[in-house]
Chain A
Amino acid sequence: MVTRGFFSGRRPPSDTDARIPPGQYLEQGFPVLSAGPTPRVRTEDWSFTLKQGPKPLKKWNWAEFNALPQSKMTRDIHCVTAWTKFNTPWQGVMIDDILADAGIEPPTAYTLALSFDGYSTNVPTKDLVTGKAMVALLYEGKPITPDHGGPARLLVPHLYFWKSAKWVNGLQFTERDEPGFWELRGYHMYGDPWREQRYSSDP
């Protein structure tokens, strides 16, 4: 349906068109979204735990985690509220390297990312490994600010950005695909921006 009288000049340049998923628009800033207040997590109090169900597999404190091999990823990110931002530069620890340090192979097909504020989000384990995702510690070369999820946030750039849990403090491997915080509240279980999987009723 064409909207009467709508002729926006805000079209993205055609050479970038192919990088913008359906229903998204290009954003230069970096908007913030979250369900509650911004937690201020001190690095002294920070830790990261790998769990299988309720059972802890390995835990790192801030210094130990920062000593793991670090990688850089520059990616386009896509928020479900319809903005896309190009070339966001992150640095952190690949999930592959976290698993290697723990000396394990992924034990189950599903994962819940857990956060300090009680937030959680589900991601299939295969979307976290083989170079696809990291726990990011730096954005544009600087510590991630609290409103963007610092000191550490998950980065799964190929899925809608709510899957990139802020203030992340652990990954929990689960037997089943268990919905997290937003997924229980109507957001999609997988969240592929290229298939516009925003809400639970989207195919």
Chain B
Amino acid sequence: MTAEPSPQSPWQAATITRIEKRTPRVTSFWFRPSRPFAHLAGQHVDIRLTAPDGYQARRSYSIASAPETGGGVELAIERLDDGEVSPFFHDVAAVGDEIELRGPLGGHFIWEESDGGPILLVGGGSGVVPLMAMVRHRTLRNKAVPVALVFSARVWDEVIFRDELIGLDDRRDGFDLVLTLTREPARRPSDYSRRIDVRMMAQAVERLPKAPRLAYVCGSNAFVSAAADALIGAGVPAGLIRTERYGV
């Protein structure tokens, strides 16, 4: 299960090659590292911004793109208005800028084909980003692995990667998308309009052809705590649940 981290992941300059708004608050940035690296679905990079006086700010961002997609990595960054780093990306960063990054990082919150399935993914807000890499990886690599993604967003317009996810769901090839909107009515028959709870997790497990091999939960700390507890309540053994917490 473990992927050895790449032995060397020093800081390096990466060029922003493309910027695309995903939702009102989330924008994707594509970075081409000067020394390209191979990553695993679920890993992140660290970003470092340096002011003229040498002051540095450093944050982690999950990689949204599949390992198979060459030509750099996609990061999807949510704007926190009073934040330090995320508003810089939204307000200042432009195509052609060089940003320092380091990666790939993280050896636990990853899914590889050899880990098998079925897998249950549970994401809140920008916590969907590493799960998106897993969904894309599975689509490109091995559609035989059943995957259910439960994605909680406040409103329909804040569902990151919405068109792509619904397109994959429509293929009915073993990928199942469940959206739950916490501040708006559900729009699709399979969706919910409430916060994640035990019953929702139990129904998500039932969507899979057999019990999940692994479950991945990612989002804010409060979201991860609530969703992981709900999974345990729905009978998923704690030892199969991997979490990634975005801090506050």
Contact = CB atoms under 8 A, between A and B. Distances in A.
A82 B99 CA distance: 18
B59 interface: yes
A25 B228 contact: no
Contacts of B108: 35, 181-182, 185
A186 B105 contact: yes
Contact of A201 (B7, B56, B98, B238): B7
Contacts of B69: none
A182 B2 CA distance: 11
Contacts of B231: 37
A201 B59 CA distance: 19
B49 interface: yes
A3 B50 contact: yes
Contact of A2 (B2, B9, B50): B50
Q: Give the most central of B4, B221, B231: most A CB within 10 Å.
A: B221
Q: DSSP majority for the B interface?
A: mixed
Contact of B238 (A6, A8, A25, A39): A39
Given A33-B247, A201-B7, A2 B228 contact: no
A116 B247 CA distance: 22
A147 to B, nearest CB: 6
Contact of A6 (B13, B51, B232, B241): B51
A117 B225 CA distance: 15
Contact of B8 (A11, A185, A201): A201
Interface residues of B, number: 48
A83 interface: yes
A29 interface: yes
Contacts of A37: 225, 228-229, 231-232, 238, 241, 243
A201 B5 contact: yes
B60 interface: yes
Q: Give the most central of A1, A3, A39: most B CB within 10 Å.
A: A3
Contacts of B52: 2, 7
B57 interface: yes
Contacts of B228: 36-38
B49 A185 contact: no
Nearest to B92: A5
B5 A185 contact: yes
Contacts of A11: 55
Given A33-B247, A117-B238, A199-B5, A8 B105 contact: no
Nearest to A79: B247
A183 to B, nearest CB: 10
Interface string A68-84: 00000000000001110
Interface in A128-187: 147, 181-182, 184-186
B164 interface: no
A36 B5 contact: no
Interface of A: 1-8, 10-11, 23, 25, 29, 31-39, 81-83, 117-118, 147, 181-182, 184-186, 199-201
13 contacts: A3-B100, A4-B97, A5-B93, A8-B49, A32-B225, A32-B247, A35-B109, A36-B241, A36-B243, A38-B228, A185-B107, A186-B105, A201-B10
